[in-house]
């Protein structure tokens, strides 16, 4: 597990170097950083939730420093995941970001869980095969759904304020900033509102 974490940290630092110093904001760079952080998040979330569950059943775990280390790791990795994912969504279409992020995130979460928690240790070969086959089917499903979804483009990119359907243009659109009643209702408008 430590070897796996060292490899992940080295890859993350290389990607972060290209992201910060070389201004490489390619979708794969951003989502690989999200995926590497996701593996830490999965380990931290499972550790924190297990320790809270044990504390509730009577075996107090909140006195151990590892609980707070994992809590900080969980919050920090989640915050940076959101930062990089938000950057990817701003730079690229959601139809490209969502399937790639789903595949990378799920794969890194599975690998980190398998290595750290040894989730496949007692599983049969058929169970492992069915699990991996199910992952493959879900990856393909997300990619196919996202690929076939096309962006809707409006024919008119904006509404002309002078031609709002059902509305008549009754005067100035913007009030005169040099007028004494700038930012307030006219007396005529006040009296009309009182009557209604």
State the pLDDT at residue 36. 93
What pTM was computed for the model? 0.67
Query: How many domains is the chain built from?
Result: 1
Mean pLDDT over the full length of the chain: 81
Range(s) of the domain holding residue 92: 1-153
Task: Tell whether 195 is covered by a domain.
Answer: no
Task: List, for residues 19-58, the tens digit of each pLDDT value.
Answer: 998 888 899 999 999 999 999 998 899 889 999 999 999 8
Task: Tell whether 185 is covered by a domain.
Answer: no
Task: Tell whether 168 is covered by a domain.
Answer: no
Task: Tell whether 165 is covered by a domain.
Answer: no
Task: Tell whether 52 is covered by a domain.
Answer: yes
The C-alpha angle 147, 111, 135, rounded to 5 degrees, equals 40
Enumerate helices (H) and strands (E) in the chain, giving the number of each.
6, 0
């Amino acid at each position: 597990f430590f070897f796996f974490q060292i490899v992940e940290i080295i890859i993350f630092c290389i990607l972060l170097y290209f992201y910060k110093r070389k201004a490489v904001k390619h979708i794969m760079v951003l989502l690989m950083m999200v995926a590497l952080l996701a593996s830490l998040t999965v380990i931290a979330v499972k550790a924190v939730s297990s320790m809270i569950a044990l504390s509730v059943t009577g075996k107090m775990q909140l006195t151990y420093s590892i609980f707070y280390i994992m809590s900080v790791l969980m919050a920090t990795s989640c915050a940076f995941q959101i930062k990089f994912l938000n950057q990817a969504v701003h730079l690229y279409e959601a139809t490209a970001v969502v399937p790639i992020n789903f595949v990378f995130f799920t794969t890194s979460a599975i690998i980190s869980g398998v290595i750290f928690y040894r989730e496949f240790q007692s599983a049969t070969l058929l169970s492992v095969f069915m699990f991996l086959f199910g992952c493959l089917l879900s990856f393909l499903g997300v990619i196919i759904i996202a690929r076939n979804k096309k962006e809707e483009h409006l024919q008119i990119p904006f509404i002309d304020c002078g031609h709002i359907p059902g509305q008549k243009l009754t005067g100035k659109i913007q009030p005169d900033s040099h007028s004494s009643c700038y930012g307030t209702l006219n007396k005529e408008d006040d009296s009309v509102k009182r009557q209604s």
